[in-house]
Structure 1
Amino acid sequence: MRNMIYSLMLFIFMGTALLFSGCGRGQKEAKRPAPVVTARAEVKDAPYVLATVGTIKAAVSVNIKSRFAANIKKVHFVEGSLVKAGQVLYTIDPAVNALTEQQAGATFQRDRADYEQLERDLARYKTLADQGVISREQYEEKHTATVRAKNAMRASGAGASIARQTLSYNTIASPIDGRIGATLFDEGSFVKDKDDILAVVNTTTPLEVSFSLPERYLAELRRQYSQGTLAVEAAPPGMEAHPEVGTLTFMDNQVDPGTGAILLKARFLNPEGRLWPGQFVTVGLVLKTIKDAVLVPSSAVQNGPEGTYVFVVKDGHAEMQPVSVGVRVHESVMIDKGLRGDEVVVTEGHLRLFPGAAVSEEEGADKEPGQKPGGKPPAKTADKPATGAATGNETGQSAK
C-alpha cells in the first residue's frame, strides 16, 4: 500500500514538472518575433480604371466565296498564313466559263462585221439617193438596218465583256491584307452554292475590342470622352502584367434596356500580334486620374469580421489598422480611409500576427508600391498615370 502511494506521488510530481517546462517553452516561443515581409504605403497620382471583359474582333473580316457553282481546281495558300490584297487564293475550273467567253466573243465579231458592211452599204445608198437612182425610202430602210446592226454589235460587245468578267471570277483573290483561316473546300471539291464560304480573311492589325459598362458610368464617361481621347487596356489570359494599350473609338447611341449596359469599342494597333480575333480579354478603361492616392500592395489588405484591415508595423510591433479599400491599380489597391501614406504595412506573414505582436522584418523583393522599410519614405509625387498595366477595378465601384 505504501509503495503504491509513493508511486502515485512520483507520477504527479513528474507530470507537474513536464507541464511547467512546456509552459516555459510556449512563453519563450510566444515572445519570439514573427518574421514578416513589409512594404511602405505610397502617395501618388493613380488612374481610375473601370474593368470588365471584352471580345476581340477583326477590324475587317471578309468571307471568301465563289460567284457560281464550280469545282475547286487549285488552292494557292497555306492555311493560317498572312495574305496580301490581290493575292490569288483559289482557281475555279474555267472550262464552262472559257467556252462561254469564246462564244460571246465570236458573236461580237460577227455583229461587228455585219455593222461595218451595212455602214459601207449605207454610204453607197446615200450617194445613189442623192443622184436620184434609188428612192428615199430605200435609203431610209438601209439606214434603219444599219442602226439595228450597230445596236446589236453593242449588245454583243457587252455580252463579251460580261463573259470575260465572268471568266476572271475563276481566279479568287484576297481583297484585303490579313491572315487567312482554314480552307473549307479542298482541291477537287465542288462548290454547289454561291453562298458557301471557302475561307475567312481577318485583319490582325489593327483590331477592335468590344465591351460593355454599366449605365451608371454613362454621364462621367460622356464627359471624359468629350474632353479628349480615353485610353483602354486589353490583356489576354496570362498577359495581365503587360496589356496592349488602345483608344476608345465608339460609344453606342443607346443603353441596352435588357442589360442596362452601354456598348463600347476600342481600337488597338497590335503591332506584335499578341491579340487574336475571337479572344476574351480583360479590359480596363482609364476613366480619369485620382490625385494623391494612397496605395499599398493588394496582399497587405486582409478581411476580418468587422471589415478590411492592414497590419501596420510600429516600433517592431504589429498594430491592426482598419481601412476602407477603393479601386485596384496594377498589383496595388487604393486606400480611401485609414492610412496617410507613409506607414509600413505587412504584406506576408499575417498568420502569426495579432494586435501588439512583435515582428521581425525580413529581407524580401521590393513590392509595388514603396520600398524596403529601412529606406527613406517616398515623397508625394505627381507621376503620370500608367495606362499600360493590368487592372482589376470592379465595375461595381462608383465613379468618383
Structure 2
Amino acid sequence: MKLIKFTLISAAVLALAVGADMAWRNRAALQTFAAEEQAPAPAAGAPPPMPVPTAAVVKKTLPVLLTYSARTEAIRSVGLQAKVSGFVAAQLFPDGANVAEGDLLYRLDSRDYEVALEQARAVAARDSAALDYARATANRSSSLVQSGSLAKDTFDQRSSTRLQAESGLAVSEAAVRSAELNLSYTEIRAPFAGRIGRDRAPVGTLISAGGATLNTLVQLNPIYVTFNPSERDLKEIIEARGKGPVSVDVTVPGVESIRHKGELTFIDNMVDPQSGTITARASIRNDDDLLLPGQYVSAGLKLRDDDDVLMVPNIAIGSSQLGKYVYIVGKENKVEQKLVTLGQTEGDLVAVAGVSEQDRIIVGNLQKIGPGMPVAPLEPALALK
C-alpha cells in the first residue's frame, strides 16, 4: 500500500517537472520570436556612386564678335551697251567668263565706220592743201603790200582766205577724230576687271546706239558685304572703329570652306526708325571669286580681344526653366548645379559666366544624375579614353 502511494507521488512530481520545462521552453521561444519581430531588418546594399567623366574649365583669350546676316553686293556692275549702231559681228568671250580691264568683249560690223573715217581723212587732206596755198598766197601778199605793189583790200581778202582755210582744216580734223571714235566704238571693251554674264545680243543682232544691253559685267574682287547692325550695337562699333580698322570675317552658312576677310568701310548716317537698324558695309577680299553678288552670308565684326574668358565643353550645358546650367563635382563628390550665362562658341567650347576656373565640369551621364547625388568623378584624361 505504501509502495503504491509512493509511486503515485513520484509520477505526479515527474509530470509537474516535465510541464514546467515545456512551459519554460515555450516562453523562451515566444520571447525569441518577439525579439526577431521587433529587430530592424538589415539595410539593403546602397548602389555605388555614378561614375561621371569630367572636364576642366578652360581659360582663353577670345575676340569679341558681333555677327549679322548679310548680303554680298558688287562694287561695280554695268550693262554693256553700244555707243554706235551696227550688227553684232563677234562675241570674244564666252558667257560667264572672267575678263581683265580692257579686254575686247564684242565687235560690231565696222565697215561703214571705216568708210566714214576714210572720207573724213580725205576731206582733211584737201583742207590741209587749201590751207598751205592760202598761207603761201598771204605771205607773198604781205611783201607786195609793203612795197605798194598790191592793194590793201586784196591783201585783206587773201588773209581772210588763209584764216578760213585754217578753220576749215580744224573742222575736217575734228571730223577725222569723230570718225576714229565711232570706229573705236565698234569694239566694246571691259571697263574694269570682272565677270560677264549671259549674252543678250547674239551675233547678227542689229544694235542701236544706247539701245539694248549686250551683257552685264560685275566686279567680284573686292566685293561689298552689306548688313544692318541694331542701334544698340552702334555705339560699340563706332568706338571700335575709332581705335583702328574693324576687321570683318565673312562665311557662307553651311559651307565651312568658304571664309573671307575684309574691313568695315562704311556706316550710314541715319538709323531706320522702322527697324531700329543702320546700314553698314564691309569691303571683302574675294581672290577665289567664290562670293557672288546677292549671296546670303554671315558677317562677323571683331571689336576687340577679351582676356581670361572661361569656357566649358558644349556638351556640358543643360537647360531648365531657370535657364542654362552645368553640373560640377562639389564637396564630398556630390553633384552641384550652377546656372550660367552663355557667350560665344569656339569649336567644341562655349564661353560661360557663372563658373570658376577650379570647377570640375561633369560632361557625361548627365541624364542619370541630379543635384546632391554622390558621383565618382573620372579625371579628364581618363574620361577622354
Per-residue deviation, 1:278: 2.3
Larger radius of gyration: 2
Equivalent residue for 1:320? 337
2:131 aligned with 1:115, yes or no? yes
Compared CA separation, residues 349 and 58, structure 1 to 2 (3 A)? farther
2:254 aligned with 1:247, yes or no? no
Per-residue deviation, 1:110: 2.0
Cα distance in 1 for partners of 2:257, 2:338 equals 29
Q: Please, which of 234, 242, 251 is the counterpart of residue 218 of structure 1?
A: 234
Larger CA deviation: 259-268 vs 315-324:
315-324
Cα distance in 2 for partners of 1:242, 1:298 equals 24
Cα distance in 2 for partners of 1:222, 1:74 equals 51
Cα shift readout 1:139-180 (whole Å, capped 9, x = no counterpart):
101111110111011011111111111101111111222222
Compared CA separation, residues 300 and 161, structure 1 to 2 (3 A)? same
SS at match of 1:254: coil
Equivalent residue for 2:12? none
Q: Please, which of 307, 314, 335 is the counterpart of residue 352 of structure 2?
A: 335
Cα shift readout 1:79-108 (whole Å, capped 9, x = no counterpart):
222211221111011133222222222221
Cα shift readout 1:224-278 (whole Å, capped 9, x = no counterpart):
2111122211101223476322222222233233332222222222333343332
Compared CA separation, residues 320 and 242, structure 1 to 2 (3 A)? farther
Higher RCO, 1 vs 2 (CA within 8 Å, ≥6 residues apart): 1
Cα distance in 1 for partners of 2:258, 2:341 equals 28
SS at match of 2:380: coil
Compared CA separation, residues 204 and 129, structure 1 to 2 (3 A)? same
- Confirm or deny: 8 A CA contact 1:49 1:329 kept in the other structure: no
2:305 aligned with 1:289, yes or no? yes
Alignment of 1:251-262 (within 5 A): 251-262=267-278
2:283 aligned with 1:276, yes or no? no
Per-residue deviation, 1:318: 4.9
Cα shift readout 1:350-379 (whole Å, capped 9, x = no counterpart):
4444445677889xxxxxxxxx71379xxx
Compared CA separation, residues 207 and 37, structure 1 to 2 (3 A)? farther
Cα distance in 2 for partners of 1:247, 1:375 equals 44
Cα distance in 1 for partners of 2:377, 2:107 equals 72
Compared CA separation, residues 124 and 250, structure 1 to 2 (3 A)? same
Compared CA separation, residues 33 and 280, structure 1 to 2 (3 A)? farther
Letter in 2 for 1:226: G
Letter in 1 for 2:350: V
Per-residue deviation, 1:303: 1.9
Aligned residues: 339
Alignment of 1:41-52 (within 5 A): 41-52=57-68
What is the CA RMSD across the aligned residues, in angstroms? 3.1
Cα distance in 2 for partners of 1:301, 1:186 equals 61
Cα distance in 2 for partners of 1:79, 1:325 equals 49
SS at match of 1:255: coil
Equivalent residue for 1:158? 174
Equivalent residue for 1:66? 82
Compared CA separation, residues 311 and 243, structure 1 to 2 (3 A)? farther
Compared CA separation, residues 37 and 77, structure 1 to 2 (3 A)? farther
- Confirm or deny: 8 A CA contact 2:84 2:186 kept in the other structure: no
Cα distance in 2 for partners of 1:295, 1:113 equals 90
SS at match of 2:265: strand
Alignment of 1:152-191 (within 5 A): 152-191=168-207
2:162 aligned with 1:146, yes or no? yes
Letter in 1 for 2:271: V
- Confirm or deny: 8 A CA contact 1:312 1:343 kept in the other structure: yes
Equivalent residue for 2:150? 134
- Confirm or deny: 8 A CA contact 2:246 2:263 kept in the other structure: yes
SS at match of 1:138: helix
Cα distance in 2 for partners of 1:232, 1:188 equals 47
Q: Please, which of 368, 371, 374 is the counterpart of residue 381 of structure 2?
A: 374
Percent identity, aligned pairs only, is 27
Equivalent residue for 2:361? 345
Letter in 2 for 1:276: L
- Confirm or deny: 8 A CA contact 1:47 1:329 kept in the other structure: no
SS at match of 1:183: coil
Equivalent residue for 1:384? none
Cα distance in 2 for partners of 1:214, 1:185 equals 44
Q: Please, which of 318, 332, 346 is the counterpart of residue 302 of structure 1?
A: 318
Compared CA separation, residues 183 and 348, structure 1 to 2 (3 A)? farther
Cα distance in 1 for partners of 2:226, 2:128 equals 58
Unaligned stretches of 5+ residues in structure 2? 1-43
Cα distance in 2 for partners of 1:223, 1:240 equals 30
- Confirm or deny: 8 A CA contact 1:56 1:275 kept in the other structure: yes
- Confirm or deny: 8 A CA contact 2:53 2:380 kept in the other structure: no
- Confirm or deny: 8 A CA contact 2:252 2:258 kept in the other structure: no
2:145 aligned with 1:104, yes or no? no
Q: Please, which of 67, 75, 92 is the counterpart of residue 108 of structure 2?
A: 92
- Confirm or deny: 8 A CA contact 2:84 2:182 kept in the other structure: no
Equivalent residue for 1:380? none
Cα distance in 1 for partners of 2:298, 2:381 equals 36
